[in-house]
């Protein structure tokens, strides 16, 4: 019997997940064991299937076959909002932010998915509602500070620089206190300074919130610096998995991916 598995159960486990879009096999027999608080990376060339893996785990697509379990509970077949409520937060490769809302409104609104006072409280203004509203306001400002966007609180988010928008999207994802955070290319469009800042922010939220993170990223410096383990995906299949050092020196990875990427 594997006793370590009994004492140390994985937070998120994906087993032999496969997905077809029509005749295209986008993901083939993908496996993942994510432990509580772990930071892992997913790299691979364009079209390898990285975003599809996120979309399968977060319920946007249903896998053709395979299992996905969060703390031993099945996620396959649940709606995206149910999966989000069970503890998975995410950001999107093409940011999904609302055009006419301020930074603070984005983060405040995200809390309402888990408010506890219910419809009656909303109508009759219960004391519980007041306490919850206060908690949301405090927590929202704390998140804005953590992500270094508090000074933009009252600005319309889509008018702000790209790097700031990415941080707002991440603050919104953290509002529901996820157990796992999925980040799809969080440094896309960022300046080198913003990238260095983002490394610091991810380290900080990892420590402060004890959240496990799965990171898709093209900038290898970023992945290598943050992640304990990295998977390399090519044509929907994991061709290598290991520590940053192992991945950097793996001839298959160099051949299939690193040779073509900017190692910066």
Ligand X SMILES: Nc1ncnc2c1ncn2[C@@H]1O[C@H](COP(=O)(O)OP(=O)(O)OP(=O)(O)O)[C@@H](O)[C@H]1O
Binding at 49: pick from Mg ion, ligand X, none (beta carbon under 5-8 Å per type): ligand X
User: CA of 96: how far to CAs of 92, 158, 168, 259, in Å?
Assistant: 6, 10, 11, 32
The maximal CA–CA distance of the chain, rounded, in angstroms, is 65
- Nearest CA-CA partner of 94 in 150, 24, 143, 165: 165
Q: Please give the helix or strand (H or E) that residue 192 lies within, else none.
A: helix 192-209
91 scored as a contact of Mg ion (CB under 5 A): no
- Assign 71 to helix, strand or coil: coil
189 scored as a contact of ligand X (CB under 6 A): no
51 scored as a contact of Mg ion (CB under 5 A): yes
The least CB distance from residue 59 to ligand X, in Å, is: 14
**Distance in angstroms (rounded) separating the CA atoms of residues 175 and 168:** 11
User: CA of 169: how far to CAs of 164, 175, 236, in Å?
Assistant: 9, 10, 27
Q: Could you give the string, one character per residue 8-37, with x where binding to ligand X holds by CB under 6 A and - elsewhere?
A: -------------x--x-x-----------
Please identify which residue in 52, 58, 91, 187 interacts with ligand X, judged by CB under 6 A.
52
49 scored as a contact of ligand X (CB under 6 A): yes
Binding at 52: pick from ligand X, Mg ion, none (beta carbon under 5-8 Å per type): ligand X
Q: Could you give the string, one character per residue 122-141, with x where binding to Mg ion holds by CB under 5 A and - elsewhere?
A: --------------------
Structural contact between residues 58 and 84, judged by C-beta atoms closer than 8 angstroms? yes
What torsion do the CA atoms of 175, 176, 177, 179 make, to the nearest 10 degrees?
A: -130
Using CB under 6 A, which of the segments 44-52, 94-102, 189-197, 238-246 binds ligand X?
44-52
Binding at 44: pick from Mg ion, ligand X, none (beta carbon under 5-8 Å per type): ligand X
The least CB distance from residue 94 to Mg ion, in Å, is: 9
Site for Mg ion (CB under 5 A): how many residues?
A: 3
Near ligand X in 63-82, by CB under 6 A: none
User: CA of 210: how far to CAs of 110, 215, 237, in Å?
Assistant: 19, 15, 29
Residues lying near Mg ion in the complex (CB under 5 A) are found at 50-51, 93
């Amino acid at each position: 019997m594997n006793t370590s598995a009994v004492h140390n159960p994985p937070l998120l486990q994906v087993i032999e997940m496969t997905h077809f879009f029509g005749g295209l096999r986008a993901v083939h027999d993908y496996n993942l064991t994510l432990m509580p608080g772990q930071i892992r990376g997913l790299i691979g060339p364009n079209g390898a299937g990285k975003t599809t893996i996120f979309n399968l785990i977060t319920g946007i697509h249903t896998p053709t076959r395979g299992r996905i379990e969060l703390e031993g509970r099945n996620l396959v077949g649940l709606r995206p909002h149910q999966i989000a409520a069970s503890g998975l937060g995410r950001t999107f490769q093409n940011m999904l932010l609302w055009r006419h809302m301020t930074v603070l409104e984005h983060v405040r609104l995200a809390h309402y998915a888990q408010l506890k006072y219910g419809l009656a409280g909303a109508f009759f203004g219960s004391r519980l509602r007041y306490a919850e509203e206060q908690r949301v306001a405090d927590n929202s400002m704390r998140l804005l500070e953590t992500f270094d966007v508090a000074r933009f609180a009252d600005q319309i988010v889509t008018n702000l620089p790209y790097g700031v928008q990415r941080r707002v999207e991440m603050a919104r994802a953290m509002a529901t206190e996820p157990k796992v955070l999925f980040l799809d290319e969080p440094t896309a469009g960022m300046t080198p300074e913003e990238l260095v800042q983002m490394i610091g922010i991810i380290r900080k939220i990892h420590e402060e919130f004890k959240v496990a993170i799965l990171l898709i990223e093209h900038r290898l410096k970023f992945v290598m610096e943050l992640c304990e383990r990295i998977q390399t995906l090519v044509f929907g299949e994991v061709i290598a998995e290991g520590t940053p050092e192992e991945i950097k020196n793996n001839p298959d990875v160099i051949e299939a991916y690193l040779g073509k990427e900017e190692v910066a």
